[in-house]
Amino acid sequence: MAQNKIISMIDMIRHAYRVNKHRRLTLLINYLSGLEVEYIRQDETYLDTRFKQLEAYYQEEVEVATKRLGGYTKDLEKKEKAIASYDKKAYWQRRAYQTKLSRTSHGMIPQELLNTYDQKQAQKRHEYLASLDAKYPNVLLDSNEKALYTKHIEERKNVLVHRQERAQTIYHQKHIRWIKSIDKNKIRILKLTEANEKLSTYIEDFHNEEVKRDERLIFNLRAALKELEDHSDSQKRHHKKHQKLKDQIDLIETTKQVIEQPSIHLSVSKLKMFFGGVKAVNDLSFQVKKGEIFGLIGPNGAGKTTVFNCLTQFYKATAGSMVFRNKEGNVVNLYQRKTHDMIHEGIARSFQNVELIWELTVLDNLLVAAHSLLVTNYFEHMIHSRRMMREEKVLRTKGMSILKNLGIEEYAYRSPYGLPYGILKKVELARTLMTDPSLIILDEPAAGLNDAETQELARIIQKINHEYGITIFLVEHDMGLVMSICDTVCAISFGKMIGIGTPYEIQQNPDVRKAYLGDDSDE
């Protein structure tokens, strides 16, 4: 028995390692295929950009010479500069004079004095221009200078041609290198895909084996349960054991159900969460279908947020089973996972009160969310390896595209500090999208928003649901929002389910009315 346990534990550890490796390899393959595209793009654009750069350098170098040849002599340039500086000085002098006048005459500016000043200044400027003319007689270029400038241009042109030739040789070297690395990449991708497929078959085998084992197990468990139930006196004594058996049977049955029906995304069965004597959630069962918007409603303190926290493993549920179909299509028991692993399974969540990182910009907040997509480790971050820089660039582009899709790209480089609440909620949504989830859990997305903002949010939630095909599971107080966008609504009160169905059915449900509006006899 003990040996079996050890073997099964080793199997579990190996399985976890394989799943992790599978995900890492998938990310790596994505990265490598992205790199290939990058190489091809560089290969196509390198020569163009380089030539443009060289042309710009050439233009900069011959700028003066062409100017001089075009008739814009050194003297003319000096003269224009002198006039500009004189005008600037005159402007400030006039302003100072005006201020002085207004101060001496208590706010009123005597126009006559100002006019005489202006006339005087105009006279002065005229004289100055004449003196400048005398100083810089506008001579033309002599032939000697002209030859010098043309020679300079010729020289530069030769240099440009030389540089272009060199750029081409460099390009050829680079081209060969790129082609080589593309080929290498392709081979590597093939190898990795092969390894990945092997891993995924292993994982599938493990799951199949688990199903088989469960079938055997459930038979034994049922027999044990029946034996317990037959002796009614021992049932009381073995209450805990009885409960445990029931839970195990329930977990296996739920798993089986999810495996058999591919449309189910998340199945919660008989979830219980007790805080000491307080039964926050008691015997709650529901199923979320793939690709739908599922709403969880209930009066204050009904235990909605507790359900969320149980799902994301912030609280370990007292009893009950939560079975989820993850990103790769495998059916997993969420209870065995850790909080920071939920994102790898494909569950992203938002918070009731916005929990952004206030010291970072909006875009950087999205990058934090992309943490589960990183292929680099902290050592590479320490030395800023090339791979990390590329990855950062890719993630930034992805973040910008998500922000654009949600219509908030103008806030990308701003601190979230001081942004309106509606925008912050959208940023949180964008953050959940950044992690490539298959299920998004939204905790009161419309809390603290006004009507227009709520409508906008509803539109965005529907858009995410349609465009990305992501299942959405939300808790909400705003009945208008829930009834307008949800496909299925589940109502709970004091931890117990009181109704599930389409929004219309829930509206007609007498129990729900009672929970929200109180008993009729109370009035």
Partner 1 sequence: MKIWMKEHLQPFLKKPHFGFIVVGLVLITVRMLVDVLPPDLYGAIVTTSYYYIAGLGFALLLGYGGLASLGTGAFVGIGAFTLHYVYRFMTMPLLIAILAAIVLSIIISIAFGFVSLRISGMYLAIVTMGLSQIVIEIIKNIPNYASGTTGGFLSGGPRRPLVFLGMELSANAAVFFMAVFIVLGMIVVHNLITSATGRALLSIKNSETAAQTMGINLLKYRLLAFVISGVYGTLAGVLSIMYVRNASVNQIGLTFALNILAAVIIGGTKSIWGILMGTFVIFGLDLAIFQRFQLGNYSVIINGILIILVVMFYPGGLIQLFGDIKKFIKKMKAKWRERKYGTE
Nearest residue (CB) to partner 1, 304 versus 431: 431
Please tell me whether residue 189 binds partner 1 under the rule CB under 8 A: no
Interface with partner 1 (CB under 8 A), residue from 83, 129, 221, 357: 357
Q: Give the C-alpha separation, 454 to 468, whole Å.
A: 21
The three-point CA angle 307-402-330 to 5° equals 50
Please tell me whether residue 155 binds partner 1 under the rule CB under 8 A: no
Complete edge-to-edge strand list for the sheet that includes strand 293-297: 347-349, 439-443, 471-475, 293-297, 488-493, 496-501
Nearest residue (CB) to partner 1, 194 versus 355: 355
Interface with partner 1 (CB under 8 A), residue from 252, 343, 406, 439: 343
Residues 6+ apart with CB under 8 A from 367: 392, 395, 396, 399, 434
- Cα separations (Å) of 316 from 246, 338, 401, 461? 18, 10, 36, 29
Q: Give the C-alpha separation, 435 to 260, whole Å.
A: 28
Please tell me whether residue 99 binds partner 1 under the rule CB under 8 A: yes
Nearest residue (CB) to partner 1, 285 versus 376: 376
Nearest residue (CB) to partner 1, 248 versus 376: 376
Residues 372-391 that bind partner 1 (CB under 8 A): 372, 374, 376, 378, 381-384, 388
Extended strands (E) in 351-463: 439-443
Interface with partner 1 (CB under 8 A), residue from 96, 147, 187, 517: 96
Integer-rounded Cα radius of gyration of the chain: 37
Please tell me whether residue 342 binds partner 1 under the rule CB under 8 A: yes
Minimum CB–partner distance for residue 348 and partner 1 (Å):
7
Residues 300-329 that bind partner 1 (CB under 8 A): 312, 314
At which residue do the structure tokens 């224009």 appear? 80
Residues 6+ apart with CB under 8 A from 58: 156, 157, 159, 160
Interface with partner 1 (CB under 8 A), residue from 49, 368, 397, 417: 368
Backbone angles phi, psi at 279, to 5 degrees: -95, 90
Q: Is there a contact between 472 and 486 (Cβ–Cβ < 8 Å)?
A: no
Residues 101-140 that bind partner 1 (CB under 8 A): 102-103
Nearest residue (CB) to partner 1, 31 versus 249: 31
Tokens of residue 352, six digits? 């009731």
DSSP letter at 417 equals T
Please tell me whether residue 30 binds partner 1 under the rule CB under 8 A: no
Count of chain residues binding partner 1 (CB under 8 A): 44
Residues 220-279 that bind partner 1 (CB under 8 A): none
Q: Give the C-alpha separation, 188 to 174, whole Å.
A: 20
Q: Is there a contact between 464 and 291 (Cβ–Cβ < 8 Å)?
A: no
Binding span for partner 1 by CB under 8 A among 265-273, 293-301, 358-366, 514-522? 358-366
Minimum CB–partner distance for residue 353 and partner 1 (Å):
10
Residue (of 473, 343, 188) closest to 334 by Cα position: 343
Q: Is there a contact between 47 and 171 (Cβ–Cβ < 8 Å)?
A: yes
Interface with partner 1 (CB under 8 A), residue from 358, 413, 421, 504: 358
Minimum CB–partner distance for residue 164 and partner 1 (Å):
12
Residues 435-494 that bind partner 1 (CB under 8 A): 435
Interface with partner 1 (CB under 8 A), residue from 25, 367, 424, 430: 367
Nearest residue (CB) to partner 1, 48 versus 520: 48
For the chain, helix, strand, coil in percent to 5 are 70, 10, 20
Count Cβ atoms below 10 Å from residue 191 Cβ, excluding itself: 11
Interface with partner 1 (CB under 8 A), residue from 118, 355, 410, 467: 355
In one letter, which amino acid is 494? F
Minimum CB–partner distance for residue 360 and partner 1 (Å):
6
Binding span for partner 1 by CB under 8 A among 133-141, 181-189, 321-329, 365-373? 365-373
At which residue do the structure tokens 């349609």 appear? 466
Binding-site ranges for partner 1 (CB under 8 A): 57, 92, 95-96, 98-99, 102-103, 163, 312, 314, 339-344, 348-349, 351, 355-360, 364, 367-372, 374, 376, 378, 381-384, 388, 392, 431, 435
